[in-house]
Amino acid sequence: MKEEIQKSQHYEIKIIDMGEGGEGIGKINDFTVFIPDVLLGDRVEVCLTKVKKSYGFGKMVRLIEPSPYRQEGKCVQEKECGGCQFQSLNYCKQLEWKRKKVENCLTRIGKIENVTVAPTLGMEEPYHYRNKAQYPIRMVDGKVEIGFFAPKSRRVIPVTDCCIQHPINSQIIQRVKDFLTQYEISIYNDESHRGLVRHLMIKTGYKAQDVMVCLVINGKHMPHSEALVESLKELPEIKSIVLNHHTDKTPVILGKDCTVLYGHESITEQIGDLKFKVSPLAFFQVNPTQTEVLYQKALDFAELTEDEIVWDAYCGIGTISLFLAQKAKKVYGVEIIPEAIENAKENAKLNGLTNTEFYAGKAEEIIPELYKKGVVADTIVVDPPRKGCDEKLLETLKVMAPQKIVYVSCDPATLARDLAYLTKEAGYSVEEVQPVDMFPHSAHIETIVKLSK
């Protein structure tokens, strides 16, 4: 007789996989159980908290046998801030899991046959890699605290030293906290929407080690700002101190306007031989080391010979476009956010690249329009958001029929869906699939794929 699976009962489960959010996945016969705070390879005693027809949720009550892939996490606050789900999983295993995840999506969702997914390109030193941090500032038990929100809450967990952020951040946090406390500056409260200081954002240009400090305030002026500047200036890396004015009652972190308190209005980051202006509001990839690896792959996969016309769809501030422009005849970039297109144009100028043209608008509208007007492409690079490419864009790719398509994806499931269309409906074959680890210790995976006609 089949055992009936019941809520509140205890089961011994081996963790055989991990899900999107890093939760462990195990089985009781055919019944799938999702369990937070466990690792691939653990054998655990689980109490079921929710039971559905074919799956359920549980929590670990005892670690029976730890996974052989467990390692001492570097983070003292693991789990508290809700980030870095894989801290205690051996880095090699993280990379292998990411490769396997991409392979599973391509074969199961995309039904792509005979596909080889290359080993994930990881970091030599997978710590202190992020160039941007946004820390909420709130009063906790009568004290100013700067840190991260606890999962599903607005309570701030203080952060002193985060092992994926730049090491200078902890010194900046301390100085900002001292300043706010000493001068009794009012701190933002989510419920009343009162109080001045909301967030601390720190951006770093890794090549030059230039740092920008930005305080997000619920108002126009910051009292005693000269004292803050004096204190922060003592750290020679700090090249820019900015106020961001954000008076709306929304969980969005940044407002639209900034005032410079000290130094420059932006800092510069270098990826390969190219320089990019990083302003407080502009988007930039958060892992500069791996961004270079990813863009170099995009360039390799595009196999440019200096005669090609290239489209970069979903181009952001034109980073991939400019990388390609070093080798192509002409690069057209298209991006939905007009400010990003302005940045892209500035960045082209900054690097003396004159063979680029940028358009603000939806890729699925601009590319078909220009195609009708006679603009064709030898190669198209797409780097869409998580939801993948719009169907209209894929249909245009089919009729435009560029020789090569390079697909950069941050979600293997939508990548698989789009590759299914491109291979089965549009006559492309998948030549190479390369995962790149942009976010060590998280479940996120970046993949780059080369397709040809």
Q: Which residues are catalytic?
A: 410
Q: Among residues 269 and 383, whose Cβ is nearest to ligand SAH?
A: 383
Min dist CB 438 to ligand SAH, Å, is 10
Q: Which helix (H) or strand (E) holds 92?
A: helix 91-104
Q: Among residues 48 and 320, whose Cβ is nearest to ligand SAH?
A: 320
Question: How far is it, in rounded angstroms, from Cα 363 to Cα 334?
Answer: 6
DSSP 8-state symbol, 39? -
Q: What residue type is 381 in one-letter code?
A: V
Min dist CB 239 to ligand SAH, Å, is 22
Q: Among residues 315 and 436, whose Cβ is nearest to ligand SAH?
A: 315
Question: How far is it, in rounded angstroms, from Cα 136 to Cα 158?
Answer: 9
| Residues found near ligand SAH in the complex (CB under 6 A) | 283, 285, 314-316, 319-320, 334-337, 340, 362-364, 383-385, 390
Residues ≥6 apart with Cβ < 8 Å to 175:
228, 231, 232, 235
Residue 373 corresponds to which tokens in the numbers above?
A: 């007007």
Q: What residue type is 349 in one-letter code?
A: K
Min dist CB 352 to ligand SAH, Å, is 20
Min dist CB 393 to ligand SAH, Å, is 8
Contact in structure between 261 and 243 (CB atoms under 8 Å): yes
Min dist CB 285 to ligand SAH, Å, is 5
Min dist CB 293 to ligand SAH, Å, is 12
Sheet order of strands, 404-409 included: 356-360, 330-335, 309-313, 379-382, 404-409, 446-452, 429-436
Q: Among residues 136 and 316, whose Cβ is nearest to ligand SAH?
A: 316
Q: Among residues 40 and 363, whose Cβ is nearest to ligand SAH?
A: 363
Contacts 24+ apart (CB under 8 A), 120-124: 120/95, 120/96, 120/435, 120/436, 120/437, 120/445, 121/290, 121/293, 121/297, 121/434, 121/435, 121/436, 121/437, 122/91, 122/92, 122/94, 122/95, 122/437, 122/440, 123/287, 123/289, 123/290, 123/437, 123/440
Q: Among residues 213 and 448, whose Cβ is nearest to ligand SAH?
A: 448
Min dist CB 111 to ligand SAH, Å, is 26
Q: Residues 70, 131, 78, CA angle at the centre, nearest 5°?
A: 30
User: In Å, how far are 74, 103, 181, 380, 382 from 407, measured between CA atoms?
Assistant: 34, 15, 49, 8, 5
Q: Kindly write down the DSSP assignment for every residue of 293-348, as one continuous string.
A: HHHHHHHHHHT--S--EEEEES-TTTHHHHHHHTTSSEEEEEES-HHHHHHHHHHH
Contact in structure between 243 and 257 (CB atoms under 8 Å): no
Residue 178 corresponds to which tokens in the numbers above?
A: 């001292």
Q: Among residues 175 and 362, whose Cβ is nearest to ligand SAH?
A: 362
Q: Among residues 74 and 362, whose Cβ is nearest to ligand SAH?
A: 362
Min dist CB 292 to ligand SAH, Å, is 11
Residue 129 corresponds to which tokens in the numbers above?
A: 């890699």
Nearest residue relative to ligand SAH (C-beta): 316
First-to-last alpha carbon distance for the chain, in angstroms, is 54
Question: How far is it, in rounded angstroms, from Cα 53 to Cα 424?
Answer: 34
Q: Where are the alpha helices (DSSP H) in 257-307?
A: 288-302
